Every structure is written in C-alpha cells, then in structure tokens.
Amino acid sequence: MRVAALLLSLALSSALAACSDAPESTVGETITIDTPSFTLDPGAEKFYCYYTTLPNAETTGIHRMASSMTPGSHHMIVFKTRTAQMPDGTFAECQNFGMGSGGLANIPVWLYAAQEPEVQFTMPDDVGIAIAPGQPVIVNMHYINLSDQPLTASVHIELEAFKPTYAFTQAHTYVTFNTEIDVPAGQQGSAGGTCDVSPDAKFLFMTTHSHKYTTRAQIMDGDAMVLETRDWAHATVEAWDSPYYSFASGKLGYRCDYNNTTSQPLRTGESAIANEMCMAAGVYFPAHGDTFCINSFTLAL
C-alpha cells in the first residue's frame, strides 16, 4: 500500500499560531520523543524512521504539539499505528515510506507534522487527537543536506495530553494525494483532484505539500479560493479561530502547477529533488476517523 503511506507525507509551517491554552485542570502528562542523531554527507537526501511506543497507560487526547529540528529537514511526521511495526528503539532508513506491511488494517495515520525547525500548535480548549493506551508511533524524518559540510541531525518532539478522565472532542486529519503526476521533461503541467468533504466539518487549519518544481499549489472550496502556496519550501498555512472553516460547497479541490526544468519526466514520488507531490491537508473536528482522498476518490477511515 505504497500510495496509502504517501498520503500521510504532510508538513506544517511555523506560521501555525497557538489557539488557546488548555485549562490547567485538564492538562495531563507531556510526552517527549528524542530521536537518535544521524549524519548526512553533502548532497545526500535520506528518509529515516524511528519506532517507539508512547508511555500513556490510558486512552487520552493530544492537545498541544511542538517540535525542534536541526537545519536541513524537509519535513518530519509523527504517525500513529494500531500495532507496533518494529521493536521500540528501531532506527533505520524508511522502507515503503515507513508504511511497513500491515496494509490498510495498520496504516500509519498522521498525528503531527512539521516543516520548519521550530513549530508549536495548540488545539482549542476541548479538542484533541485521540491516542490509545501504549500508542505505537513512527517518527518519519526527511533530510536533505544542501551544504558542503556533513550534517548531523535529530528531532525533539513534545506531545501534551489531556488528563485521561477528561472528555474531549476528537479531531482528525483530512489529506489528499495525487498519484498521477506526469510532466514531460522541459515542460509545464499540473495535477490535482476534487474530493468530498462534509459541510459540517470544522477545519482548524489547512496547508499544501509539494516539491521544488511547484510554481503554485491551491486549495479550493468549490470555486472559492481557500489558500494558495507560491513557495513550495514554505507552504502557506491558513489557521482559523472559532467558528473555524467549513467547506460550504461540500467539495475540496486541490491543484498543483509544475515547471519541469529537468531532462527526465517528473512523476509522483518521495524525493524532493527528483519527484513531485500534490497534497492538501488539515485537521478538522468533530470527527471519529481520518479522511483520505486519492486523486478524486474520498475514503473515510
């Protein structure tokens, strides 16, 4: 299920502003994750995966997320899975985008992501992303060393949870992904799709994700523009306060325009140097599961 894992390769910007701090009476433990460090030679591009289990003993919700990454990161994603895909502490180059072999029954689901070195995001007071007791997670790190010196990299993550007894409203992710990018060498092209979305869904934020050949990425609500990205490395993020954003048309359109300056066809793939992506993504509530849209096919999990 290579495509399913690709769906989750989302990055946020440090432009995300904290909404509000949770009341002290609702705050539980702050879970920290520190990945092992690794070194990249000049010009190298690597995907590393770190597997661990969160220490929470009961079901709870993650209300605030924060991360620090050393320079050179293209993105970092924390995935949650139903069961552990590798033993805790495993640190290795990702295989199949970190998907493993669990198929849809154990698909990695995005919990948190970042594209800038320092990021923090806080949900509204009573909203959180649910995690199971002893939640298995995968930290997926994509680094590119564009310098002329070796780069030593690592990631620090903080996940602030509600108290286990606190009744919170669940938020989940909405992610689109296009598998059909195919721009001939030296030419311009585009990719995208139209996806179903409930007009009752309240979006906290949305952003796009693509690679270096992108000249423009857009998210549309029917014919109305929701956001536009012109700088692929610093994707536009729209974050909304109450009453948040709802897609009045019931349709989420996404589109990416490309200028292929290489001598090879430009196709869908994980490399930020040799491939492209076209994604729209965000977090919405109330929800009881994540939503993925492959090209223009909407799938509720």
> Are the CB atoms for 283 and 223 separated by under 8 Å?
no
| pLDDT at residue 86, as a whole number | 92
pLDDT per residue as tens digits for the range 45-94: 888 999 999 999 998 999 999 999 887 676 788 988 889 989 999 999 88
Domain boundaries, the chain: 2-169, 172-300
User: What is residue 236's three-state secondary structure?
Assistant: coil
Q: Which residue has the tokens 């109450």?
A: 242
- Go through 95-107 and write b for each residue having 16 or more CB atoms within 10 A of its CB, e for each that does not: eebbbbeeeeebb
What single string gives the DSSP state of each residue in 60-107?
EEEEEEEEEE-TTEEEEEEEE-SS-SS-TT-EEE-SGGGTTT-GGGG-
From 3.90.550.10, 2.60.120.230, 2.40.70.10, 3.40.50.300, which CATH number describes the 172-300 domain?
Answer: 2.60.120.230
> Which residues of the chain are under the pLDDT cut of 70?
1-25, 72, 74, 96-106
Do 2-169 and 172-300 have matching folds? yes
pLDDT at 105 (0 to 100): 59
Q: In whole angstroms, what is the distance from residue 61 CA to residue 89 CA? A: 23
pLDDT (0 to 100) of residue 253: 98
Rg (CA), the chain: 18
The per-residue pLDDT for 125 is: 87
pLDDT at 17: 36
> What is the pLDDT at residue 22?
54
For the stretch 7-35, pLDDT in tens is 333 333 333 333 445 565 677 889 999 99
| pLDDT at residue 240, as a whole number | 94
Q: What is the pLDDT of residue 76?
A: 85
Distance (Å, rounded) from C-alpha 91 to C-alpha 93? 7
Give the model's pLDDT for residue 98.
53
From the options 3.40.50.300, 3.40.50.720, 2.60.120.310, 3.30.1360.230, give the CATH code of 2-169: 2.60.120.310
